[in-house]
Every structure is written in C-alpha cells, then in structure tokens.
Structure 1
C-alpha cells in the first residue's frame, strides 16, 4: 500500500496507464545551423509555437470551467515572449530550433524551480509546452495522455494541466501522481470530472503500466495488486455512496434541519447551465478570468456584460456571487502591464491589479451591473486577495455605487485576523481555502514535497476559518467557503461546525457534499470541528473528525 495525500474521494480498481513518451531531449551535439539558414529556422520556431497555441485554443473553445481556463492559459504560454525571445537568440547564434527551445525553456524552468515561492505548476506547464513545440518541429505526434482501450487509472510523476483538462472520465476512472498537491490544477480538474485522485504518492513511479491497482481518494492510498475480492467490495461500497449522493435533491441542511446553502463554482455560461441542472442552490463562485485570458486587449464593458449575463440568466433569481478578476501570478494578462516580479505569488495579483489599473476594476463592475440589469437579477460581487480593511472599504464603496452587494475573499491570513474590521464595510465573506492554506502554511500549493502542509485540514487553517466565522456571527453577516475544501464531504461537515453558512464546490461534488451533511446533525458537525481544532496535524484532524461523524 502506497501512501499519498487525498485529493478527490472515491475508490476505483483498474490497470495502470501512463502518459506516452515525450520527445527525447538528446544531448548529443548537433551541427549548428548555417548562418544563411538561421532566419528560416526562426520562422520555423514561430510557426511551431503558433501551431501548438492554435490547437490548445481550439480545445479551450470546446471545454468548460477550469479545463477551459487551463487550456487558454497554456495556449498563451506557448507564445510567451520570454522563452521565445531566448530561443530566437539561440537560433541566431547557430542552435537548431529544437535545441534552442530546450535550452530556453530549461533556463526559465530552472529559475522558477529554484524560487520556492513560485507556483511549481508553471514549471510543469513550461516543460509541456517545450515537448509539444519540439514534437511539432520534429514532425512527431503531439505528446500527452493516451486514450486507453478500457477503464484505467492514470499514473504519472506529474501531469500537465492541459493533459488532465482533456481526460475522458469514462476511460480514465482515477488519477494518481507522485508529485503535485491537493489543490493543484490536476486535483481540481479530477474533482470536476468526479474521479478519485491521490497526489504526492511515495513509490508510485515504480509501478509499471498494466499493473492492477486500487486508488482510494478518500484516505489517500494506492494499493498495488490488491486482493480482487477486497477491491471489488471497496469499489462497490464507493459506488453505493456515489449512488446515494446522486439521489440527493437538496436543499442543503443537516439531519436536524440546520440550513447550509450548497452552491456551485462556475466559470462560464456553459458551466453555469450544467450546474443549474444539479441541486445547487446558486453560484458561490463565478470566476471571471476566462474572458480576460489569452487576449491582447481588455474585453469591453459590453463584451463582459454579455458573458456575465449568461451565468446570471442560468440561475435566474437564485444567488450568484461574482468574483472580480483574479489574475496575476500564474495567470498573467498581456494588457495589464504586469511588472517582472521575483515572487509573483506574493505580488500584484487579484485586487492588487487595481493599484496600477483602477479603471479595469471599475469597468468590470460596470459590466456586472449591466448584466444584472439586462437579466433582472441581483448578483453579489466579491474581491480576491483583500488584505486590509481599507481595501475592503474601497471595493465596497465602488460596488455599492453601482447597485451591487459587496463582499470579499478571505485568502490572506491578515484578512482572517481582521475579519471583524473588514465586515464593518462589506456584507459577506467567502473563504478561499486554496490560497488561505498556501499563505498560512508558507507552502506553495503546487509543491509535492509540501503537500502535507498545503492540506486544508491543517489545524492552523481551520483556526483562521473559525476566526472569520466568529466575526461573521457577531456581525450577523454570512461567511461561506468557495475553495476546494468545500468539495470534501467530511471537511464540509467540519466547516459547517465552525459556523460556515454556505459551501460552494465544483458541480460534480455538490451531491456528495449535500448527501453527507444530510446524514449528520449540527451537534456532530460542531463536535467534529472542535476535535479537529484540537489536533496537531492535518492527518490527525481528519481522523478526529471522522471519529465524531461516524
């Protein structure tokens, strides 16, 4: 039995399938390109990177939600000027295009890997782009995940987000990686697909393709060649739990009738329409980045209003919470004038983009207000990466001037510590547990080595959630959770016990969360929360909560 970090619950038993071979980065010396042929070699590089970007954009156009965002962001990276300029210089100096790409990407990837604060997933993305461009230059098939001929469990050292974004959940029924964290894009997309996922699995790389394994995403284990009968019973138990979840029709409440709104996380009109078909009572997180990414210019107010209106119309008079643009860091915007930063994860991202682009936030709020008028709805709006009460007040004042109900995200520990003062200015709080965990534990949420630290079950993170909910109760204002923690049925019960009033998760997780809450009382949730707070590690917190909820 191999141990990792649980990312998405459920049990599956199937053979291992592994990603196809990447282009060889052979270090054998290759003759330099003749000087007369170097301009043509530069053009060949540009054409290859453009072809890769075009394919990714086409896939993004046919995807929804997180998958669409990941594909669009990676397409943008395929034509990023930083590595392309370096590669062009290497070609001008005589290097063949493939060698130039490998050298240029390797230089940037090494720099990112050494800066521990940066999101490690950028390194995975860059190397994936490198392989795709080199394959294009070499006339090889596009690298990536193969399509298995029977239901299989995909195992890898790490997976590029662009690969997980295109998975067929009927054939890839589980995921396991030896790297990655519980809130990596791989885990998030696995949750969107509704397939079990375990990350940071020690020893996984030694398991060959074709081996039968059992993945338990609820406890974070991978069992190699388990007893078939044991595996079958575990899978059947997981199937029964999933079936019970599918029967749940809402609304959200504990077994003794304490109401808890169960909401959906969406990113576009298609995802909203799909979520509206579930028992979701509304939208707790509408990510608006998708219409800004992979563009050379900012979308107009009218363009934004059209996109936002699709989501608002899908839910009619039900609650919709719109998060203003959360770009920067791993989601740069071409038109925002992002400075080069040594530490982007702690730099100009989220609401901080308004420091240098105040009119951008104003135009986005105007687009949301126009969409509200056009659809006859009353959306709430919230700002990401708020760190001070002054920032909250400035955002709230502007949102109210446009007739919108303002709130803020609690992602920065400072915001949780000062939640009472922030609530003097806004009408609600929404806790983003992904970033709150990363910043509380000073650990990159994409780092496999730090995966146990970036687990939202960490008692320090739960203590900050409790602080925010106490402030909300004192002010009689709602406090929800819209991070990935809300998609874990057991952790959702703990969050309710801490005083959270709403839970917003990927549409695929909604029924499981609602069904689990309906099986326990508020008193059990509170006991589980107290037990978890009194532990020293994430694993102990999970075990203590399970004991109270049994």
Structure 2
C-alpha cells in the first residue's frame, strides 16, 4: 500500500542491514535512512544496469553528414522527451528535467560528437565518448557540477538507446499492482511520472535526505528509504514491507506483519485527517503552513492539502531551456494565477536563482568557475544583469496589481548587508513593498542583525544553509551523513537568524523556513521552538507537520529545540528532540 504523507522523518539514520535476535530463519531485514514516512508493501522491481557500451570499434558507413544528423536528432529527441516528462510532472521534477534537457542540447557536447563522427566513429560511439569526456570534467570539478555526472550518464544512455534501437532505460509506468522500486540510485527522469498508484515505495542504496530521490518521493507522498545497503540484491518479485519513517525494509513479511502495518497506516491516516485548519501548536501559537511550488500547475495540490499560502514560489521554470529571458508579459501571466489562488493569503516569490547547477545560456558567468556553487549565483548574477531583475520585479508588481494576496519577494544567495540593501531598494522602486532575503549562506545567518533592518522578512533555505555550513554537497552520497539539517551547528544558525528577525523592530519581523527541513514533522516542531514563524514545504507534507504541531505546546517545542542544540551530533540532536515530543507516537514517527 502507498504512503499518505511526506517529510524527512529520520535524516541521517544510516543503520546497516541486520536481523532480529533469534530470527535466523527469515530473510535479512535491511535498514537505511527513512526520508518519506508511511508504509509501502509490494513486489520488488529492481532497476539494474544501463545501456551497454557501444562497440569501441564502431564505425559509420562513410556518410559523416548523415551520421551527424542521426546523432543530432537523437540528442534532440532525448531533450524533448525530458522536457515533456518535466512538463507533465511539474514541481521539483520539472526543474530537474528541464536542466537535463539543457545538458542534452549543450553546444560543446554536440561539437565533440561531430568531431568524432568526422573521424569515422559511429554516432553511438561518438556520443558515448563525448559524454565520457565531459563526465570526467564534471567529476573533477566536484560540487554542484560533480553531482551532475549521474545526470549526464542518464542522458548518454538514453541517446545511445535511441541510436541503437534499444529500449529506453527507465521503469514501468503501469503495473498489475503497486511495486516497490529498488535501485542503486534513481534518475529523476525514471521517477518523475510515477504516482502512488503505481509505486508503493522507493528504496535506494545511495542518496541522503535531500537527494533527488528523497525530494521527489516526498513531493509524491510515497514512502521512501535511501542509503539502504544491499537493497539491489533483493530478488525481483520478492514482496517487501517498507517503512519510510524508521528506514526498515522487511523482505517476505508475514501476513500478520503486513496486517499490523496496514492497521498502523490507517491509524495514521485518521490522525492526519483530524488535523485541519491553520497551523498552530496545541496551545494556540500560530504557525502558518505554506506550500513550496514550481509554477501554477502545483496549485491544485497546495490547495488540496490545506496550504495557507505559498512560502516558496520557484520561478526558474520560466527561464530554463531558453536562449533569451522571458518577457514581462510571459512572467506576469505565470505569476497572477498563483496570487489569485490565495486571496488575502501570503505568497512569497523567490527571484531567479540562476547560476551554479542552473546555468542559463543568456546569463553566462563573467569567467570560468572552478566551483560554481561558490560563484555567481542568485543575487550575485542579478547584480551583473540588473535588466533581467528589473523585468522580473516589474512583472511581479504588475501581476500583484488588482489581487488581494500579500505578495512578498525574496532574493537567493544573499551574503552581505550591502546585497540585502541593494535588492530591497530595487524591489521598492518597482512597487513591491515587502522585500525579503533567503538565509542560505552562513555569513547571512551569523550577521543577520545587520541584514534585518534592510528587509521585511527572512526565509531560511535549510538545504543550502546545511551544505554550506558543513561543506557537504547535498547530492554527493559519500558525504550524505553530513548533509543533515538536524546538525546542531545548523540549528545554531537558525537561532541567530530567527532572533535577529524578532528583534529587528518593536513588533518583530518574520523568519520562515522553506527548505526540506520544514517537511520533517519532528524537526518542524524544533524549528518553531527555535523561533521560526512559518514553515513552507512540498504540499503532501502539510498534514504531517500540521498534526505534529497540533500535538505539542510551544513550550514542548522550545524544550525539544533546547535539547537538540545541546547535542553534539545530528543523530543525537534528533533523538534528544524526539524525547521531548511525545505526540509523535500517534503518527508512528
């Protein structure tokens, strides 16, 4: 059975596979990191291998022009397929897949494929070698570029499949019964179009709480376990019971075990269904619960799950895979439906976060960047291209005109008070009276008091704040244990930002969280105890967080926060906080 919610409930829990004491006859119980709660039961479908490497001696028939045309057509077919999948999936998946489509259309790759074909190499072999060369460059670069090596492999395999007539790699989009999808890792293109009607749970051997698999599973509301050693050794078709909260994967469970799991799932659903209305603690302290969206197509889910507004409207979908920036009219048409969907509600728009892992053809960096994650990204790119920012701000102001939504606009990657002041001035000049900034860079958190006077609110992006604070790329499996928002150092940075916002004026200013941490019901309680004033997350996580908050008082949340900050590790912080949050038991978290 599929899960009923989302949220990273046990980040960093990387226990090795084990068997219960005395249970020597049954199959080994595997354990990993539970990243999307709920239980899933079904037969194992293992995604194995990729497309076979083309013959090293592969040559074409001598017509290089025809072979180049074949290669160009194959790359374009793959790019178009990725775009179509992204457009149908929407949300997080759309951003990821549109970025992959841009890689398939990279002119440098096309030139290298053409050069190899000119030497007589077959189109399939030329694509394989060209992508291999680029892959080595990405791996050597590390950081954001290094994490995209797997994406490049996926594009390569899809293109080779087109050229050789092999089946496209991927997973079935229909089945006689929901299955448990098991893989070493999963490409976004493999999972973007799946639904909880098809897949009962995800289990991967690699990845962490903020990997693509974890993020997409939470956005789908499907139970998921990552970092589960030995998962791909499970025989295909084996029935397994997956607990996306504890991280336990139990092969061939007994009928009694499945029955207990289903009963527990029904009890959780009852608790979630009873948690309605605006977000608040048990003693009535209001905590607005907002949705993260990637465009108007995500509005239906946000409204269905009871979002009180939008805490993060990602605008990159308008800019990806284009040679020129979208016009003000195009942007206004995309913004207005979201503003109209929340009359009187809060809608927080993040301005274009270009650069790093989201390069745009019309916004190249000023120089080659050996580590783009630390280069010209977000507000830094805007300062070099103020015209792009001016058009976006004007479009937002025009879209807001005539609506009753409380429109707030924030800039990503702000590191200094000067950047905050510059952005706020530009917003106010455009007629946007509530400018804010993302707190993603440790310097912004450490000196938040210097930045608070320039803006109306903060929004903490815990994904980037964690990776920058702990120097641990969130897509590199080798450091997944460090990429954990429960780490006390990250909690300390949250406190600094929240305290500075609260003290910025007599009535204080808002300090929300819009990163993946907000989707973890236990961590959401801790964040409120740290002084965070609102939480924004993928829509399926809203019922879980609403229920968790509604079962604890503000003082219990504060006690959990104090306990977490007193720990010396992420796991210790999580365990200490949970001991102060007894209401989680009703959610089986």
Q: Same fold (TM over 0.5)?
A: yes
- Residues 418-459 of structure 1, C-alpha deviation per residue, up to 9 Å, x if partnerless? 111110101100000111111111011001111111011111
Cα separation, partners in 2 of 1:201 and 1:431, compared to 1, 3 Å: same
1:159 is aligned to 186
Give the structure 2 partner of residue 229 of structure 1: 256
Q: Of the candidates 528, 531, 537, which is equivalent to residue 569 of structure 2? A: 537
CA contact (8 A) 2:142 2:371 kept: no
Aligned partner of 1:291 among 318, 338, 354: 318
- Displacement after TM superposition at 1:263 (Å): 0.6
Q: What TM-score, normalized by structure 1, do the two folds share?
A: 0.96
SS in 2 for 1:342: coil
Equivalent-residue separation in structure 1 for 2:262 and 2:150 (angstroms): 32
**Do 1:18 and 1:145's aligned partners in 2 also have CA atoms closer than 8 Å?**
no
Match of 2:509 among 474, 477, 486: 477
1-side partners of 2:391 and 2:56: how far apart? 53
Aligned residues: 548
Alignment of 1:70-149 (within 5 A): 70-147=96-173, 148-149=175-176
Aligned to 2:10: none
Counterpart of 2:4 in structure 1 is none
Relative to 1, partners in 2 of residues 1:164 and 1:384: Cα closer, same or farther, differing over 3 Å? same
- Look up the match of 1:49: 75
Q: What's the CA shift string for 1:94-145, capped at 9, x where partnerless?
A: 2111111111111222222233323544112111110110111012222111
* Whole-Å separation in 2 of the counterparts to 1:331 and 1:319: 27
Change (3 A) 1:226 1:459: farther
Q: Is contact 1:272-1:315 (8 Å) kept?
A: no
| 2:433 is aligned with 1:401 | no
1:186 and 2:213 correspond: yes
The answer as to whether partners of 2:46 and 2:232 remain within 8 angstroms in 1 is: no
Deviations 1:330-370 (A, max 9, x none): 11111112343211111111111113211111111111001
Q: Which residue of 1 aligns with 2:403?
A: 375
Counterparts in 2 of 1:150-549, with a 5 A limit?
Answer: 150-338=177-365, 339-404=367-432, 405-475=434-504, 476-549=508-581
CA distance in 2, matches of 1:362, 1:483: 26
Q: Any idea what the Cα deviations from partners look like across 1:513-534, whole Å, max 9, x if unmatched?
A: 1011101111111111111111
CA distance in structure 2 between the aligned counterparts of 1:481 and 1:40, rounded to whole angstroms: 53
CA-to-aligned-CA distance 1:217-237 (integer Å, 9 cap, x gap): 223332333444234313431
Q: Deviations over 1:128-185 (max 9, x none)?
A: 1101101110122221112333111111111111212111211112111111221122
Asked if the contact 1:119–1:446 (Cα under 8 Å) also holds between the matched residues in 2, the reply is no
Per-residue deviation, 1:298? 0.4
**Shift in alpha-carbon separation, 1:333–1:241, aligned structure 2, 3 A:** same
How many angstroms apart in 1 are the aligned matches of 2:305 and 2:502? 29
> Hey, what's the Cα distance between the residues in 2 that align with 1:218 and 1:486?
16
Q: Structure 2 CA distance, aligned partners of 1:431 and 1:333?
A: 25
- Partners of 2:236 and 2:335 in 1: how far apart? 44
Cα distance between partner residues in 2 of 1:177 and 1:352: 36
TM-score for both structures, normalised by structure 2: 0.90
Where 1:6 maps in the other structure, the secondary structure is: strand
Q: Flag structure 2 segments of 5+ consecutive residues without an equivalent.
A: 1-28, 583-589
- Report the Cα distance in structure 2 between the residues aligned to 1:19 and 1:90, rounded to whole angstroms: 31
Query: 1 CA distance for matches of 2:284 and 2:145?
Result: 41
Q: Distance in 1 between matches of 2:93 and 2:58?
A: 40
**Alpha carbons 2:37, 2:223 under 8 Å: kept:** yes
User: Could you tell me how far apart the structure 1 residues matched to 2:375 and 2:200 are?
Assistant: 38
Asked if 1:58 is matched to 2:90, the reply is no
Distance 1:31 1:48, change over 3 A: closer
2:39 corresponds in structure 1 to 11
- Over the aligned positions, Cα root-mean-square deviation in angstroms equals 1.7
Partner residue in 2 for 1:30: 57
Distance 1:86 1:542 in 2: 49
- Counterparts of 2:380 and 2:199, CA distance in 1: 39
Structure 1 runs (4+) deviating above 4 angstroms are none
**C-alpha distance in structure 1 between counterparts of 2:451 and 2:246, whole Å:** 37
Q: What is the rounded CA distance, in whole Å, between the counterparts of 2:34 and 2:469 in structure 1? A: 20
- Write the distance in 2 (CA, Å) between the matches of 1:232 and 1:452: 33
C-alpha distance in structure 2 between counterparts of 1:324 and 1:9, whole Å: 31
CA distance 1:428–1:73, change in 2 (3 Å): same
